[in-house]
Structure 1
Amino acid sequence: MDEPWWEGRVASDVHCTLREKELKLPTFRAHSPLLKSRRFFVDILTLLSSHCQLCPAARHLAIYLLDHFTDRYNITTSKQLYTVAISCLLLASKFEDREDHVPKLEQINSTRILSSQNFSLTKKELLSTELLLLEAFSWNLCLPTPAHFLDYYLLASVSQKDHHCHTWPTTCPRKTKECLKEYAHYFLEVTLQDHIFYKFQPSVVAAACVGASRICLQLSPYWTRDLQRISNYSLEHLSTCIEILLVAYDNVLKDAVTVKSQALAMVPGTPPAPTQVLFQPPAYPALSQATTTLAQLQAPVQDLCLAYRDSLQAHRSGSLLPGGTGSSLHTPYPTLQPLDMCPMPVPASLSMQMTIAAEPRHCLATTYGSSYFSGSHLFPAGCFDR
């Protein structure tokens, strides 16, 4: 195809097919004992995918594969967990991206995150793990994620009829759309950071990213008829997911302001920076009113994205890319067992590493509870009895 599918003549048909496929996705149960280390490996895959310039769809599919595999099957060693995570990224990049963007074995082993664990991965280990993953997912990697829907919804994200703060029309829809696209992709990355977003269908999450972006930019109405037509969702369908995104947005901004205030406090003679709280959870129960003015959002959205990325990378400070290569280990893996049959805690070495590397974060899943997740997977268990 010479053009992205969402800009082609078959865009509507592709969207309908993706919506049908998302209805068949397995339920995420959040039963894995490895959930405490999930955020760490999401950051690893995010940084590695950015280093290899993978598309968002590949990154989101990789994390989807990792989450649903660990949700069903127990992983007994830290090296297994690293191998499964990297294999998920390899499979996703092969399925969603260009061949020259697929991470090479040398790139993977040159990362300091592996050498710090005193091991490197071999081609045989990665290939065997890829086969296990393919069998677990019945060789079906056509699994829609929010990244597959976002660009299609962005086509109708801004129109000539939009107004700022219910008063004046947008003076330059093109620039407004560019800024909204930055916000939407920022929110798309936010959805990777907490497994609570598996409560919603991927198309709902993607549409909510657009809706939250319009609220942040004070565009009126918050959800247009064009967006409702292209997505088949009303604002009522999206309100819960949008509110969770705005809570995360508010938390990141408060963290960024705190870091900036601490930095300024170290400079003699600098007055403390005022703290701006843009959103509070009780302030938008029905998304009927916004709590900010346009003047509060004049800073470029790139600064917000950079602050967010810095907060993700603060505890590593470039420790992932690039670095030396650890010694190669060829010890065969123990047999993987279904999680329900053989529950195991996180290995002590990995738990210690997570304790040292972790940074304070706002846990949305704790706020909103874990009652969303129920049901079971349809993954076969026999393919792991080796």
Structure 2
Amino acid sequence: MGNENAVSGNQGRVLRENPKRRTLDEKKANAPKKRAILKDITNVTCENSYTIICLNVSKIVDIDSDDKDPLLCSLYASDIYYNMRVAELKRRPFPDFMEKTQRDVTQTMRGILVDWLVEVSEEYTLVPDTLYLTVYLIDWFLQGNYIERHRLQLLGITCMLIASKYEEICAPRIEELCVITDNSYTRDQVLEMESQVLKHFSFQIYTPTSKTFLRRFLRAAQASYANPSLEIEFLANYLTELTLVDYQFLKFIPSVIAASAVFLAKWTLNQSSHPWNPTLEHYTTYKASDLKASVQALQDLQLNTKGCLLNSIRMKYRKNKFKSVAVFTSPKLPDKLF
């Protein structure tokens, strides 16, 4: 990265060979190169009114009972998520690592890189877990290794390559990743950086992310619904993804971010009832009062009170396939909610 306003001189542009994830179809691999340009969007405005709330005192719903999907591992779900809660506390980046470790790279540069990687993940239709793992790998590596700004984008595509190999059925080729940087780096440079990153992690790259917990918490949030709500699912995912770009959210652990996203999503869609209930408290292990600081910070992010111009995630969730949840606003959060 040459400066804080551009990624490797590309001014936010993503050059791609193929806008879809690679398959075994060689014709797609040879698709003509295209260029996409990031555009600004109008800031979301804030509404100040809210309605009177009523605490939901319904009993706890068993979200693991009679689930016929073997992939959900209902019998072991509680133990699995307990272990994930323990694992999320290990090897977490410090919220001030940038100031302590990096001299040439800033928080703003990190934000620009992550915002660009969001668009890259969209162009290659990577699963969300790949993006979350990519950002984690970047942060943990930056915490322990000084890096110059001109190599930051190299670190970004390398971490996405590693995350893709872990999460995707078919990861992008190294040559494709070089192309999206406008050939700023070579295949050998990517391979060398990949070796450095994996050695830094001792090849133990997996960690629970906020996306990991969000799946579980959304099941709890919709346990009493007659039919699943796509709006709350898309909105909670949108809010959670927004935190990836903002360095300040490193002070919150992934499960807190996921729980806060569910809380704020429910409040955004419905102010007539309390967004938290015994079922959510049971499965997240958080009371509403535990989430006050994180929910308030997340609402500031949702309303873009700081006027952030990194809008790839907002543009993504303005699309109809996500029910345009990025245009939703949430009313002021009354103290009585917590």
CA offsets 1:260-312 (integer angstroms, 9 cap, x no match): xxxxxxxxxxxxxxxx97545xx534536xxxxxxxxxxxxxxxxxxxxxxxx
Q: Partner of 1:155: helix, strand, or coil?
A: helix
**d(CA) in 1 for partners of 2:156, 2:290:** 33
Deviation at 1:148, TM superposition (A): 1.1
Number of matched residues? 246
* Greater Cα shift, 211-220 or 121-130: 121-130
TM alignment of 1:143-222, pairs within 5 A: 143-160=207-224, 173-174=226-227, 177-218=229-270, 220-222=273-275
1:334-360 deviations in Å (ceiling 9; x for gaps): xxxxxxxxxxxxxxxxxxxxxxxxxxx
Cα shift at 1:73: 1.8
Question: What is the CA–CA distance in structure 1 between the aligned matches of 2:158 and 2:284, rounded to whole Å?
Answer: 33
| Pairwise CA distance, 1:156 | 1.2
Q: Which deviations, in whole Å up to 9, do the C-alpha atoms of 1:307-337 show, x marking residues without a partner?
A: xxxxxxxxxxxxxxxxxxxxxxxxxxxxxxx
Query: What is the deviation of 1:21?
Result: 0.5
- SS of the counterpart of 1:74? coil
**Paired residues of 1:187 and 1:245 also in contact (CA < 8 A):** yes
Q: Closer, same or farther in 2 for the Cα pair 1:217/1:253, shift >3 Å?
A: farther
2:196 to 129, 132, 140: 132
Counterpart CA distance in 1 for 2:165 and 2:157 is 12
Deviation, 1:192, is: 0.8
Q: Which residue of 2 aligns with 1:76?
A: 148
CA distance in 2 between partners of 1:254 and 1:278 (Å): 17
Structure-2 change in CA distance of 1:18 and 1:45 (3 Å): same
**Take 1:209 and 1:41, find their aligned partners in 2: how far apart are those partners?**
23
For normalisation by structure 1, the TM-score amounts to 0.58
Aligned in 2, Cα 1:207/1:54: closer, same or farther, shift over 3 Å?
Answer: same
Q: Report deviation, 1:105.
A: 2.4
Shift of 1:125: 1.8
**In 2, Cα distance between equivalents of 1:11 and 1:60:** 21
**How far off is 1:14 after superposition?**
1.6
Separation in 2 of the partners of 1:40 and 1:254? 14
CA contact (8 A) 1:243 1:284 kept: no
Structure (1 or 2) with the larger CA radius of gyration: 1
Q: Which residue of 2 aligns with 1:251?
A: 304
Q: What is the percentage of aligned positions where both structures have the same residue? A: 28
* Correspondences of 1:357-376 after superposition (within 5 Å): none
**Correspondence 1:52-131 to 2 at 5 A:** 52-78=124-150, 80-98=151-169, 100=170, 102-111=171-180, 114-115=181-182, 119-131=183-195
* Closer, same or farther: CA 149–5 of 1 in aligned 2, 3 Å: farther
Matched residue, 1:48: 120
Counterpart amino acid of residue 108 in structure 1: L
Deviation of residue 5 (structure 1)? 4.7
Counterparts of 2:257 and 2:267, CA distance in 1: 15
Distance 1:10 1:195 in 2: 34
Q: 1:153 to 1:75 in 2, by over 3 A?
A: same
**Matched-pair contact (CA < 8 Å) for 2:268–2:331:** no
Q: Is the 8 A contact 2:209 2:254 kept in 1?
A: yes
Q: CA deviation at 1:252?
A: 7.2
- Cα pair 2:266 2:275 within 8 Å, conserved: yes
Q: Using structure 2 for the length normalisation, give the TM-score.
A: 0.66
Change (3 A) 1:64 1:17: same
Distance 1:48 1:254, change over 3 A: closer
CA distance in 2, matches of 1:135, 1:23: 21
The residue type equivalent to 1:73 in the other structure is N
**1:246, 1:279 within 8 Å by CA — same for their partners in 2?**
no
Alpha-carbon distance between aligned partners in 1 of 2:290 and 2:115, rounded to the nearest angstrom: 30
d(CA) in 1 for partners of 2:120, 2:295: 28
SS of equivalent to 2:276: coil
Q: CA offsets per residue over residues 187-235 of structure 1, 9 Å max, x none?
A: 0111112111111111111111111101101152211111111111111
Who is 1:9 aligned against?
A: 75
Partners of 2:136 and 2:308 lie apart in 1 by 27
Question: Helix, strand or coil: the match of 1:127?
Answer: helix
Tell me how far apart the structure 2 counterparts of residues 142 and 255 of structure 1 sit (CA, whole Å): 30
Residues 259 and 284 of structure 2 are in contact (CA less than 8 Å); yes or no, is this contact kept in structure 1?
yes
How far is 1:9 from its partner? 3.0
